[in-house]
Chains A and B, each alone.
Chain A
Amino acid sequence: MTFDWGFVGEAMPDLLTGLRYTVQATVLGYAVALVVGLLVAIVRRGAPPLVAGTVHWVMEFIRCTPLLVQLFFVFYVLPGVGIELSPLTAGVIGLGLHYAAYTAEVYRSGMEGVPRGQWEATRALSLPAHRVWLAVILPQAIRRVIPALGNYLIAMFKDTPLLFAITVPELLFEANQLGGQYFKYLETMTVVGLLFVVVSVPSAIAIRLLERRYAAV
């Protein structure tokens, strides 16, 4: 069996359509993860111990269980309680919540890096809560965790093939379908693997550059 380059050319348009879904899911899911993760981190810092503790364990649970099962859960359970979701929406919610558990930890470490004096200063100036967070703590905390957050963007991109399991027509889904149709798994799967490397290696290099820029704060 030889590698059929002609078929790769023919399959490319479909694969690129799949890649569009992959990128879409990554970007939307990442937006969810950034926002929810930040809220979680703030709640864990500011809320009463019982709430903060509950949130902590929920996040621990999310981090210790497979994303795939969580995706199934969102995809099959939410429609059962009357919330109709497209596969892509379910995927974005699943990805976003899973990674929120990770980004929350990143934000937390960033907040811990903000010197005590800054907190005390907000107290001394009796700033209102939203000013404490938006004007003082977050600008300092987020700046130093930008590279770590970027790493999770790449990680999330590499987890999007799981959406294949809940019928999102992303890259792997297209490849699998084309492979099955023409029995050309070798070509399609190899191209998918290469596309992933092509996207994630340059982004890893970009993250390293970011690290160099923001590390020395």
Chain B
Amino acid sequence: MNFFVDALPLYLNGARYTLLITVGGCALAFAIAMAVGILGSTRSAALRALASVYVEVFRGVAALVLMFWLFYAMPLLTGYRLEPVFAAILALGLNIGAYGAENVRGAIKAVPRSQYEATVALNLSWTQRMRLVVLPQAWAQMLPTFGNLVIELMKGSAVVSLIAVSDITFVAQQLRTFTGETVLAFAAALVTYFVIAQVFVALMRLAERSANRRLGRIPARPRRRAKPAGAAAKGGAA
């Protein structure tokens, strides 16, 4: 018990770094996912090729390798040394952003064709079409996968301990060395990560509900199966 009382402030301090990297990485990954995902769903073959090269390359390289490259190799190339936290945010953001881009592209493609045809009939510009019609519907579709990616990114942030950022994992390693309480040190770290993950899961679930409500879709209940599936699935209140 004593161990936990002494160690708690250290873990909380470590959690600050983990959260900072998670939130920063998510912001970057989200921006990339949206930009690259929308590029990947345009009609221009060149833009689509660009998007898919990005996705394949950054999905193909492990986040840890990318982070090591940014941290160790890039300074030799450019002479500019990145802060470890920033290198981590960049590596995780670029990596998870590639997964997110595929998700965005898939969600945009899943918006029914009739919706596009309606925007053409209404003579909406491309921006209006995306902003008012396509993205709000795609948004509800992409959120569940985004939720998984947030957890992946949060878990991925543990690798920063290898470039000496004092996140939760780093704290656990240090406690192991100094106190010898191997089991407690790592068990406490695992539980801390689990709690953080559950908070993110709950937040994402709230976001999903609000996205569905805005589309006039009632949060799915297993009982409501009376209507034919096609009519119920895409009912829009707007």
Q: Is A137's beta carbon under 8 Å from chain B?
A: no
Closest residue of chain B to A64, judged by CB? B197
Please, how many residues of chain B have a CB less than 8 angstroms from a CB on the other chain?
42
> Which A residues are in CB contact (< 8 Å) with B155?
64-67
Contact of B65 (CB < 8 Å), options: A70, A172, A179: A172
A115-172 CB contacts (< 8 Å) to partner B:
158-162, 164-165, 172
Interface residues of B (CB under 8 A from A): 56-57, 59-62, 64-66, 68-69, 72-74, 76-77, 79, 151, 154-159, 161-162, 168-169, 172-173, 176, 182-183, 186-187, 189-190, 193-194, 197-198, 201
Q: Is A28's beta carbon under 8 Å from chain B?
A: no
Alpha-carbon distance A172/B56, docked complex (angstroms): 20
Alpha-carbon distance A100/B151, docked complex (angstroms): 17
> Which A residues are in CB contact (< 8 Å) with B187?
73
Main secondary structure of the interface of A (DSSP, over half): helix
Q: Is the CB of B62 within 8 A of A158?
A: yes
Alpha-carbon distance A186/B176, docked complex (angstroms): 33
Alpha-carbon distance A179/B7, docked complex (angstroms): 35
Q: Is the CB of A196 within 8 A of B198?
A: no
Q: Is the CB of A77 within 8 A of B182?
A: yes
Q: Is the CB of B59 within 8 A of A69?
A: no
Contact of A68 (CB < 8 Å), options: B57, B169, B201: B169
Alpha-carbon distance A69/B182, docked complex (angstroms): 12
- Cβ proximity bits A183-217 to B, threshold 8 Å, 1 near / 0 not: 00110111011001101110010000000000000
Closest residue of chain A to B77, judged by CB? A186
State which size class the interface on A falls in: 35 or more
Task: State whether A204 and B59 are in contact (beta carbons under 8 Å apart), knowing that A65-B197, A73-B190, A185-B76 are contacts in the complex.
Answer: yes
Contact of B57 (CB < 8 Å), options: A160, A190, A197: A197
Q: Is A80's beta carbon under 8 Å from chain B?
A: yes
Q: Is A1's beta carbon under 8 Å from chain B?
A: yes
Q: Is A176's beta carbon under 8 Å from chain B?
A: yes
Instruction: List 19 contacting pairs A-B, 8 Å CB cutoff, sorted by A.
Output: A1-B79, A65-B155, A65-B197, A66-B156, A72-B172, A76-B186, A158-B61, A165-B162, A172-B68, A176-B72, A188-B73, A190-B69, A190-B73, A192-B69, A193-B61, A197-B57, A197-B60, A197-B61, A199-B60
Q: Is the CB of B198 within 8 A of A64?
A: yes
Q: Is the CB of B194 within 8 A of A176?
A: no
Q: Is the CB of B72 within 8 A of A179?
A: yes
Contact of B186 (CB < 8 Å), options: A77, A160, A192, A196: A77
- Cβ proximity bits A3-44 to B, threshold 8 Å, 1 near / 0 not: 000000000000000000000000000000000000000000
> Which A residues are in CB contact (< 8 Å) with B159?
68, 162
Closest residue of chain A to B63, judged by CB? A158
Q: Closest CB of chain B to A124's CB: distance in Å?
A: 27
**8 tightest A-B CB contacts, nearest first:** A66-B158, A64-B197, A185-B72, A189-B73, A197-B60, A200-B60, A68-B158, A66-B155
Q: Closest CB of chain B to A87's CB: distance in Å?
A: 15
Task: State whether A161 and B56 are in contact (beta carbons under 8 Å apart), knowing that A69-B158, A72-B169 are contacts in the complex.
Answer: no
> Which A residues are in CB contact (< 8 Å) with B56?
197, 201, 204
